[in-house]
Structure 1
Amino acid sequence: MTPSGPPRTPLRRALFRAPILLYRVGLGRLLGRRLVLVTHIGRVSGRPRRVVLEVVGREPETGGLLVASGYGARSQWLRNITREPRIRFQVGHRVHEGRAVPLSPEESGRRLAEYARARPRTAAALMRAIGHEVDGTAAGYERLGADREHGVPIVALRPR
C-alpha cells in the first residue's frame, strides 16, 4: 500500500483542521493531553502556521513531548520546523515556547515502537489511516519510524 498524502479535499482539510479552531476559541483543554497545537513559521511565507498533532510520547528529562510526522518528509509542518525549529506549543491551556528537534532515525524508530507497544490498536489504526502497512511487530514500527522520507519520523517538542 502506498502511503496516502495530506488531505486534499476542502471537507477533509476542514475536518483535519477542526481541532485548531477549538484551540483558537479557548477550548483546547477539551482535547486532553493527547493532542498538541504547534505554531511554527512557514519556510516560504515567514508567517505563523498551526497544526494539531497527537502526542506519542513524553521526555520526562526535558519536559518535552514527542509527535509523529504521519506523512514523513511530505508534511509541511516538518519541512517548516526543519528550516526554523523555534516553535510555540500548547497542550490544554498550557503554552510553551521551545524548539522542535527531529530525533535520529534510530531513536525515532525506537520511540514509534514504544508508542505502538503502549497503544497497539491506536497505532495500527493510525498507520492504516495514513496508508502504511505495519506487521505489528516492534521491528516493523522501528523500520517505519526510522524512515525519514517515507515513514513516520518522530519529533521532540522541547520547552525552553
Structure 2
Amino acid sequence: MARERDLRFRVVTRVQRYLANPLTRRLPFHTLVETTGRTSGLPRRTPVGGRRVGRAFWFVSEYGDKSQYVRNIQADPRVRVRVGGRWHHGTAHLMPSDDSRARLRSLPRMNSAAVRLFGTNLLTVRVDLSD
C-alpha cells in the first residue's frame, strides 16, 4: 500500500510540475498561491483550488507536508493568493486538526474531486488575507 502511494505521488507530482501547473499558471483567472522558496528565496506559484470566505482563503493540499509549497509555508507563512485575477497578501496557516474531507465539500467541485482521487495525505490550509 505504501509503495503504491509513493508511486502515485511521484507520477502525479511529475505531471503537475512539468505539464499541468505550467499551463494552468498562464490562465489569467486561475487561483494561485505564491510562496517564497525556502532555499532559493524566489517566488513559487502553484495552482490551487480553493474558496474565499470573508477575509480568509481556504484550500486543501493533496500531499500535506510532502508538498513543496507546504514546506515553503512552514519556512515562511507570508504568501500571496490570486483570486479572480487579483492578488491578495496574507498569512498561511496549516490546519492539521481540520477535517480536510469535509472542507473539500465546501470547495470547488472539480478540484476537490481531483484532490480526493490523487491525495494521500490531505491537509487544510487557511490564508488570512490582509488586503
* Aligned residue among 112, 116, 122 for 1:127: 116
Aligned partner of 2:74 in structure 1 is: 82
Question: How far did residue 73 of structure 1 move?
Answer: 1.3
State TM-score, norm by structure 2: 0.77
Decide whether aligned partners of structure 1 residues 155 and 126 sit closer, same or farther in structure 2, where only a CA change above 3 A counts.
closer
Contact 1:17 1:52 in 2 (8 A): no
Is 2:102 the counterpart of 1:113? yes
What whole-Å deviation, never above 9, does each CA across 1:73-101 have from its counterpart, x for those lacking one?
11000000110011111112221111111
Aligned length: 124
State the identity %.
30
Question: How far did residue 127 of structure 1 move?
Answer: 1.8
Contact 1:112 1:154 in 2 (8 A): no
Aligned partner of 1:139 in structure 2 is: none
Aligned partner of 2:86 in structure 1 is: 94
SS in 2 for 1:39: strand
- Superposition map of 1:1-160 within 5 A: 1=1, 2-3=4-5, 4-5=8-9, 6-8=12-14, 13-22=18-27, 27-28=28-29, 31=30, 36-55=31-50, 57-60=51-54, 63-103=55-95, 105-106=96-97, 108-109=98-99, 111-116=100-105, 123-128=112-117, 130=118, 132=120, 151-160=121-130
CA distance in 1, matches of 2:87, 2:109: 29
Bigger-Rg structure (1/2): 1
Contact 1:70 1:152 in 2 (8 A): yes
Structure (1/2) with the larger strand percentage: 2
C-alpha RMSD of the superposition = 2.7
Runs of 5+ consecutive residues of structure 1 not aligned to the other structure: 133-150
State TM-score, norm by structure 1: 0.65
